[in-house]
Chains A and B, each alone.
Chain A
């Protein structure tokens, strides 16, 4: 696994410089006025970013209120008996709830679990796999659809949440299978 990781990481290190240098180089070869075109494209950056602001404010402040209200702990308590029935350790529930909402919040959950149970514990492995396997879906929705000013997201939320939910549940069982 370590060799695999170092190979992929080597790729990850070189792919960005290759693109950043390669794109303009290829442009030069194709006689594109690279500097002018770059600036022309980059101009859009600010406009698009500003366009995202209202969407992200809308999503994040609602999530912030939800976290501050303490409702999360309440939900976790409510789900505890149900989930322990299907062999899901209740300690990882906060991760499942918080992950689609905020990235920094769920990183905090992993840190908490490491401090409580230690890095080698099964619970930390499950939580970390959950973290690594899913995205902050609501943030991605706000940013991606905000950039093009689309408010009616249709089935984006259910599709994203189904994916997240599958990854969460799978993470529990795969880690238990591999390390349990």
Chain B
């Protein structure tokens, strides 16, 4: 299933970006070849030989709305700079100006590192402090296509940064857990939680440390301790992987752990949410506990029921052992060689 969702995300993004860009070109949303009529106001008067001088660009709302066929309203005036060179005159809107759409997008796509929107000045005849003229922006095409490409690289970067941030916490917890394992502490935890967790993770032998780490992971999750829950979950997965007969396929127990992690009861709301909501969060704790309690039950049931489904049973890496145990049930054993069985990576 992950294969399809993953490919679906990428293909859908491409199709969608292409469709949006095509529509924008068809509608000529950015008026690439036309110039927007504006009024230039020189607070200190126009200096014909100055290379740079400050200027106020005034855009009349009705002209703007008609030009771009939009409802957005520009501000009365934007501060900018008039740059004169031998090749012509250029107006630069100061970085940080709150531009209306689609000018904001034009700036986003065409502006350099200084964040200034640049436009070529046309029909400019110097005549007093306030002059009518028009500005032509750089042509803008394929905004979304550029955006998705950029996003792909940005997020690849983000992924690595997240992991680098995780290394410290991971090392700390793996170190502590190693001590806990060697000192027999994990064994004590295992004995404590066994009655509850054993039915959920039937593939784990009675005294295996996996149960102890799973218990620590789930408790950390409940207490909203994000920087402990993830390393503990990783360690729990490693312990479960030791019981896995295959290299690359998840066992039922791993899926159960994952499902319980995505739906775990939250006694303490996540730090990020507390930061956003402030004191308001107090009201919500009760509702979050009810919701997560129910969804935990649903997650456990879903993981159990899904693992019983034919297609997922057929791909269970520990199934061969299971078959040996259920030899007296020939209809089940037949599933293994089922030629119609879907590929195991769904």
Contacts and interface: CB of A to CB of B under 8 A. Distances in A.
B284 A156 contact: no
Contact of A23 (B176, B225, B230): B176
Contacts of A15: 219, 223, 225
Interface string B118-154: 0000000000000000000000000010011011111
Q: Which 6 A-B pairs have the closest CB atoms?
A: A41-B178, A45-B171, A64-B155, A68-B151, A42-B175, A163-B299
Contacts of A83: none
A125 B171 contact: no
A64 B158 contact: yes
Contact of B268 (A8, A65, A158): A8
Contacts of A175: 284, 287
Given A53-B163, A148-B237, A179-B283, A69 B16 contact: yes
Contact of A103 (B224, B258, B272): B272
Interface residues of B, number: 111
A143 interface: yes
A124 B234 CA distance: 33
B176 A155 contact: no
Interface of A: 1-2, 4-5, 8-9, 11-12, 15-16, 19-20, 23-24, 26-27, 29-30, 32, 34, 37-46, 48-50, 52-53, 56-71, 74, 103, 107, 110-111, 114, 119-120, 124-125, 128-129, 131-135, 137, 140-141, 143-145, 147-160, 162-164, 166-167, 170-171, 174-175, 178-179
Contacts, number: 350
A64 B154 CA distance: 8
B167 A49 contact: yes
Interface class of chain A by DSSP: helix
Contacts of A45: 167-168, 170-175, 231
A68 B182 contact: no
B83 interface: no
B1 A151 contact: no
A65 B148 contact: yes
Contacts of A64: 151-152, 154-155, 158
B44 interface: no
B225 A152 contact: no
Contacts of A135: 261-264
A155 B309 contact: yes
Given A37-B178, A53-B159, A132-B273, A143 B16 contact: no
A49 B166 contact: yes
B285 A60 contact: no
Given A154-B255, A160-B258, 4 more contacts: A65-B13, A107-B276, A154-B346, A166-B263
B147 A69 contact: yes
Contact of B287 (A9, A149, A174): A174
Contacts of A159: 255, 258-259, 299, 302-303, 306
A43 to B, nearest CB: 8
Given A66-B12, A129-B288, A154 B315 contact: yes
Interface string B253-280: 0110111011110111110110011101
A59 B158 CA distance: 11
A67 B151 contact: yes
B178 A171 contact: no
B159 to A, nearest CB: 4
A157 B1 contact: yes
Interface stretch (B2-10, B62-70, B203-211, B323-331): B2-10
A133 B296 CA distance: 10
20 contacts: A5-B282, A26-B185, A41-B178, A61-B155, A63-B155, A66-B10, A68-B13, A69-B13, A132-B266, A133-B266, A137-B262, A140-B233, A147-B234, A148-B237, A149-B247, A152-B248, A155-B309, A158-B306, A159-B303, A167-B295
A129 B292 CA distance: 9
A154 B231 CA distance: 22
Contacts of B148: 65, 68-69
B241 interface: yes
Looking at A45, A57, A60, A133, the one whose CB has the most chain B CB atoms below 10 A away is: A133
B307 A155 contact: yes
A20 B99 CA distance: 52
Looking at A64, A158, A164, the one whose CB has the most chain B CB atoms below 10 A away is: A64
B302 A163 contact: yes
Contact of B291 (A19, A23, A174): A174
